[in-house]
Amino acid sequence: MATASTRLDEQLERAGRLFEYGEYDWETFCARRDEITEQKRQLTESETKPQAADLKCCEAQLMDLVGAWDAADSGQRSRLVAGIFEQLEAEALPDDTIRVVAVPREAWRPFFAGLVLERETGFEPATSTLARSRSTK
């Protein structure tokens, strides 16, 4: 998302230069500036408020990650994992097992919250149940 924000900042800067050079009149510059500002607002909003479609996107990204894992080198694997998790901690336990604590990034939290609910209770999250009940009608 940082790349998209940077791209929008660069577009706004270019629009300002085009106005300075006389390529854009004031109205055109203002319209372009407002358009870019709205895109940045939507980008920020989508980062802070994941939608149901984002959960499907998260699932697709995980499937892509699994598929790409074997072919990836260690740097690529680190980037794949870093895109999903803010923090990973591993602890060796006395019974020769490892406990891993993974803190997902904000956009991934609803996805993992649903997985935890399903695993701990045996019930799928309500959103999955609703989607399936709609598709059977």
Handedness of CA 124, 129, 131, 136 (dihedral sign): positive
Give the per-residue pLDDT at 48.
58
Distance, in Å, from the CA atom of 127 to the CA atom of 56, rounded to the nearest integer, reads 11
25 — pLDDT class (breaks 50, 70, 90)? very high
- Whether the pLDDT of residue 108 is over 60: the answer is yes
Instruction: Evaluate the CA torsion angle 66, 68, 72, 76 in order and state its sign.
Output: negative
Residue 134 pLDDT more than 50? Answer: no
Query: What integer is the mean pLDDT of 82-92?
Result: 86
With tokens 């940082």, the residue in question is 2
Is residue 26 classed as helix, strand or coil in its secondary structure?
helix
Report field, pTM of the whole predicted structure over 0.85: no
Instruction: Please report, rounded to a whole number, the percentage of residues in the chain having pLDDT higher than 90.
Output: 16
pLDDT (0 to 100) of residue 117 = 55
Query: Of 26, 6, 3, 5, whose CA–CA distance to 15 is shortest?
Result: 26
pLDDT (mean) for 45-57 = 63
What's the DSSP call for residue 96? S
Look at residue 126 in the predicted model and tell me its pLDDT.
Answer: 43
